[in-house]
């Protein structure tokens, strides 16, 4: 078969013409149509809350210790019954994650004893000012669930007496 045989060229050109006329494009028009991520996708962090509105984070800083990139900074403060943020003895009054250092590995999620810090599906993290690369507690906290008020809450004394809240087995 000579290399100057035109027949394979014609067959190839028919294939490309077919795909031009009959195939639907695979392009997603980005800002309007977005691709969904897999369930375990490791995107931006969220600080979760319980159903009664209190934050899960007790300020133990195990996530900061576990972080291989040293991206998390935690400072804890005492809860009082007049101003209660979490069901334990302490809460994270300063909680900052440096998105430029974070490698999105999920070790903080694994280390957290109360399942407070979790990596969600948000990947649109661009910023124009370098100072916006550090997200604080307010930016990371979830919104309170339906029907519950946010923190700080005023609670009755004597309800939350454990320093570490009751743990539930992971389901």
Partner 1 sequence: MIWEWVIKSIIIFFVCVIGFAYTTWFERRFLARIQVRVGPNRAGWQGLLQPIADAVKLIFKEELIPDRAYKFAFMLAPVLTMAPAIIVMGVVPWGTEANFFGRTVELGISNDLNVAVLYILSVTSIAVYGIVLAGWSSNNKYAMLGGLRSTAQMISYELTLGLSFLPPIMVAQSMSMGDIVAKQQESVWNFIPLFTTAIVFFIAVLAEVNRAPFDMPEAEQELVAGYHTEYSGMKFALFFMGEYVKMFSMSAVFSTLFLGGFAGPWVNQIPWLGLLWLLLKIIFCLGIMIWVRATLPRFRYDRLMKFGWVVLLPFALVNILLTAGVIELFSL
For partner 1, the binding residues (CB under 8 A) are 3-4, 9, 12-13, 15-17, 19-20, 23-27, 29
Measured from the CB atom, the residue of 22 and 158 that comes closer to partner 1 is 22
Measured from the CB atom, the residue of 10 and 69 that comes closer to partner 1 is 10
Measured from the CB atom, the residue of 13 and 65 that comes closer to partner 1 is 13
CA dist 94 and 136 (Å) reads 7
Instruction: State in angstroms the smallest separation of the CB of 20 from partner 1.
Output: 4
Measured from the CB atom, the residue of 23 and 146 that comes closer to partner 1 is 23
Work out whether the CA dihedral 43, 44, 50, 53 comes out positive or negative. negative
Up-side HSE of residue 107: CA atoms within 13 Å toward CB? 15
Instruction: State in angstroms the smallest separation of the CB of 125 from partner 1.
Output: 22
Instruction: State in angstroms the smallest separation of the CB of 3 from partner 1.
Output: 8
State the DSSP H helix or E strand holding residue 109, giving kind and residue range, or none if neither.
helix 107-111
- CB-based contacts of 23: which residues, under 8 Å, 6+ apart? none
């Amino acid at each position: 078969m000579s290399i100057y045989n035109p027949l394979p060229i014609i067959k190839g050109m028919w294939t490309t013409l077919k795909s031009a006329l009959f195939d639907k494009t695979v392009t997603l028009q980005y800002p309007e149509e977005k691709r969904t991520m897999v369930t375990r996708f490791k995107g931006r962090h969220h600080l979760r809350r319980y159903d009664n509105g209190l934050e899960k984070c007790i300020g133990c800083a195990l996530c900061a210790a576990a972080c291989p990139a040293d991206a998390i900074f935690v400072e804890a403060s005492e809860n009082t019954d007049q101003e209660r943020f979490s069901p334990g003895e302490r809460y994270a009054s300063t909680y900052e994650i440096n998105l430029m250092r974070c490698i999105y590995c999920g070790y903080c999620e694994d280390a957290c004893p109360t399942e407070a810090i979790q990596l969600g599906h948000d990947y649109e993290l661009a910023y124009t000012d370098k100072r916006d690369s550090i997200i604080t507690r307010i930016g990371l906290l979830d919104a309170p669930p339906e029907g519950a008020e946010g923190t700080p809450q005023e609670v009755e004394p004597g309800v939350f007496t454990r320093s570490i809240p009751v743990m539930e087995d992971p389901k």
